[in-house]
Chains A and B, each alone.
Chain A
Amino acid sequence: MRRMMKIKEQILIFGGLALFLFVATYAFWQEGEAKKIRRQVAKSAGEECIESREYMRENHMLVLDEWRHSAVREGDRIHVTPDGREFEKNMSTCLGCHTGKQFFCYNCHQYASVKPNCWGCHQAQ
């Protein structure tokens, strides 16, 4: 009798654990292809960006943070690309090419559910 109870309990415990693991990792069982979002590609004003599109897509926030730090705290206001082009370290430099923050920033941020507070202070010109 006690043995029976034990087996029943074990089924309950391990079954429950398996169920929990399945639910908790459910998101990872899906094939890893993100849904495409319709997005207006930035209308570039002709000039090329400071880095490749792939690099910027992943690291633009780090670039902005580094720019802010070196411009505000070190007084180094000019960014020089490896091929010698110069850019002023300023949000308006970005927005000068990537016009329309509505599409350029919002769409992606909304999709990725990140809420940077840049526009709490900075203004798109």
Chain B
Amino acid sequence: MDEQRREFIRKTGLGVLAGLGAVSGLFPESSMESAVASTSSGDSASGKTRWGMVIDTRKCRGECTRCIDACHEVHNVPKFDNAKDEIKWIWKSPFENVFPGESKQFVSEETREKSYLALCNHCDNPPCVRACPTQATFKRRWDGIVAMDYHRCIGCRFCMAACPYGARSFNWRDPRPAIKKMDPSYPTRERGVVEKCNFCSERLARNMQPACVEACPEGALTFGDLNDEQSEIRVLLDRNHTLQRKSELGTRPSVFYII
């Protein structure tokens, strides 16, 4: 018996080791070496498109909500009058909420008073995609947009727990009664699935700018291909000091802020 037991323990140990080895081979992309390189420095491979956005907060006026209204209208985002059921693709919050890790001492009055735009960051290394059990949310190979497949989402809300930016909303109830003006050219969602900003992929397919970018009267939002050195967005990034939200988490957001 004792001999048998020892043999069992030895074999189990070997099995576990073999399993670990196999698992590390399963995930070449998340192996240790690449994790170091992909934290906050280093740019992604060129050749493919990687859509991104620069938000010039100096130009953004605090009380203006034109971009939010435009987005929520074209995407049939419902408006509930309670915070619990709330669904939002793009919204404004104070500095300390949008940038919780950033400086909190002796902050200028302007920064303190102003509100800042927040939306899905379309991360290059998205934790929501890692967490999703059905690949209902996935990063598009060809342009880096973190997309939702509403037909596949099972409503487990793992992506909501995984997103460090609060960018995702769940349809706690039927959204249709709460949509003020229905835009027939874009589908609504059904209750029970998660939704979020899609970088206006339906408009990009028609060579149009995202609705928020187009709606901004101050030209505070710039959209473009981060992998194209000639693009307007890269020129802006070259000439200005910019911030990404919670860059220390290694998610590599594609939305940049000029403060």
Contacts and interface: CB of A to CB of B under 8 A. Distances in A.
A113 interface: no
Contacts of B237: none
B28 interface: no
A121 B140 contact: no
A115 to B, nearest CB: 14
A120 B190 contact: yes
Interface of A: 68, 72-73, 75, 77, 92, 117, 120-125
A123 B189 contact: no
Given A124-B184, A125-B184, A72 B190 contact: no
A125 B186 CA distance: 10
A121 B142 contact: no
Contacts of A121: 150, 187-190
A-B pairs with the 7 shortest C-beta distances? A121-B187, A123-B184, A120-B190, A125-B184, A122-B187, A75-B142, A121-B188
Contacts of A117: 190
A29 to B, nearest CB: 40
Interface residues of B, number: 17
19 contacts: A72-B147, A72-B149, A72-B151, A73-B138, A75-B142, A75-B143, A77-B205, A117-B190, A120-B188, A120-B190, A121-B150, A121-B187, A121-B188, A122-B187, A123-B182, A123-B187, A123-B188, A124-B184, A125-B185
Contacts of B143: 75
Contacts of B140: 75
A68 B151 contact: yes
A123 B184 CA distance: 6
A92 B205 CA distance: 15
Given A72-B149, A73-B149, A75-B142, 12 more contacts: A68-B151, A72-B147, A75-B140, A120-B188, A120-B190, A121-B187, A121-B188, A121-B189, A121-B190, A124-B184, A125-B184, A125-B185
B190 to A, nearest CB: 5
